[in-house]
Amino acid sequence: MKLQTFIDVSKALEVSKPGKTVNQVSSMLGIQESEVLKLNANENLFLPIDFMQDILGEALGEVDPRLYPSEDMDRLQKALGGYLGVSPEQVVLGAGGDQLIELVLHAFLRAGDRMLIVTPTFSMYVRTARNMGVNYTKVDLEEDFSLNVEKTLSAASSQTDVIVLCNPNNPTANQFEREKVLRLIEGFGGLVLLDEAYAEYACYSLAGDVDQFDNLLVLRTFSKAFGLAGLRLGYAVTNEELASILNEHYQMPYPVSSMALKAGLKLLERREVVLDAVEATKKELDRLVESMQDLVGVEVYPSDTNFVLFSLRRDSDKVYHELLERGIIVRRIGSVLGRRNFLRVSIAPRDRLERFQEALREVLG
């Protein structure tokens, strides 16, 4: 591809828009960055910062940056095998979930191939498919956000190579019935890519069941429950044959930094702290959902994640900007399954959520 053609084609691709940064909002409002409340990226603020800094300090003291991290990759694969009840050979490490999404889709698909995406979903799947020139079909969830297995399988043609399903789903926040997900895997002849980024908050995971299927690959991350969003550490779990192919033929030799690997290991060793933070998150989530149900003009939806999706009678863009003017960043979702005015808010410790709730009440009048 010639340079100018590359530039022209690239400019036509979808742009990633993560939203306003804390620095942008503080500059816009003329306030300190510490006064900005960031609730748009589902980051884990329940793990104490001093605990996380201790983890990083210990990791830094053990890292020799002159060396490639092959031994630490082996150690983390072994630790994850123990955590999930699989063999280390079934684990593929990556620099966050996004890198693994690209890795898996580039491994299984080529331009012109077909994939099916259950929607609404995490935006990286559609973006990656478009960038690759993959022919993708969207199949919607039901109006109550449930998974219709028969409809999904019917939408998959004999040429469909991959089905993508987020479970729990983003942005709808719900986990699908286990039996339905299993029927989808068993009824499809190609790869089922099951994104379990929020699995620690959910009722079940299929990561420990990948041996039962030759077509299941589960994506997991350290960015949510384990609080390592800033270090970019994720992993995939599948049967040994597929994991071996991905590790040996598609993944880069050293895709994850020594610091991220060490930090992941240490968090797994002290995962009782992580699990305590998960339980604290669930309690605050339940409290927030219950309190938001009393707000006039708001419909809030159940969640099996660390965020809440809600819809408004008012224009959600206006509400988003009015919250922004109060130093609070939430996520604009817009339309979901043909319905408008959705926003998403991350679960945070109580004092932060109370500030959000107070501001939302003010905005809604």
Domains in the chain: boundaries: 3-48+272-364, 52-269
Residues 6 or more apart whose Cβ sits within 8 Å of residue 212? none
Question: Which amino acid appears at position 343 of this protein?
Answer: L
Q: Is the pLDDT of residue 18 over 80?
A: no
Radius of gyration for the chain, computed over Cα atoms and rounded to the nearest angstrom: 21
Mean pLDDT of the chain: 96
Distance CA 311, CA 299 (A): 5
**3-state percent helix, strand, coil for the chain, nearest multiple of 5:** 45, 20, 35
For residue 14, pLDDT over 80 is answered with no
Strand order in the sheet with 307-312: 298-300, 307-312, 339-346, 331-336
On the 0-12 / 13-18 / 19+ scale of CB atoms within 10 A, 339 is: exposed
CA separation for the pair 348, 21 (Å, rounded) = 17
| pLDDT bracket for residue 135 (50, 70, 90) | very high
The secondary structure of residue 175, as a DSSP letter, is P
Q: What is the DSSP string of 292-322?
A: HTTSTTEEE---SSSEEEEEESS-HHHHHHH
Right CATH number for 52-269 from 3.40.50.2300, 3.30.1540.10, 3.40.640.10, 3.40.190.10? 3.40.640.10
| 17: pLDDT strictly greater than 80 | no
What is the residue-wise DSSP string for 50-113?
HHHHHHHHHHHHH--TTS--HHHHHHHHHHHHHHHTS-GGGEEEESHHHHHHHHHHHHH--TT-
Q: Strand pairing partners for 37?
A: 328
At residue 10, the pLDDT reads 84
Give pLDDT, residue 13. Answer: 78
Q: What digits encode the pLDDT tens for the residues 252-305?
A: 999 999 999 999 999 999 999 999 999 999 999 999 999 999 999 999 999 999
pLDDT on residue 1? 74
In the predicted structure, residue 9 carries a pLDDT above the cut 90: no
Judged on CB neighbours under 10 Å (0-12, 13-18, 19+), 235 is: buried
How do beta strands 191-195 and 160-166 pair?
parallel
Chain position carrying tokens 């077509």? 215
pLDDT of res. 206: 98
- Model confidence pLDDT, tens digit, residues 62-97: 999 999 998 999 999 999 999 999 999 999 999 999
**Peptide bond preceding 255 in cis form (omega within 30 of 0):** no
Give the DSSP H/E element, type plus range, for residue 357.
helix 350-364
Which architecture does CATH list for 3-48+272-364? Alpha-Beta Complex (3.90)
Taking the C-alpha atoms of residue 192 and residue 242, their distance in angstroms, rounded to an integer, is 12
DSSP lists the bridge partners of residue 195 as 166, 219
Residue-wise pLDDT for 311-345, tens only, equals: 999 999 999 999 999 999 999 999 999 999 999 99
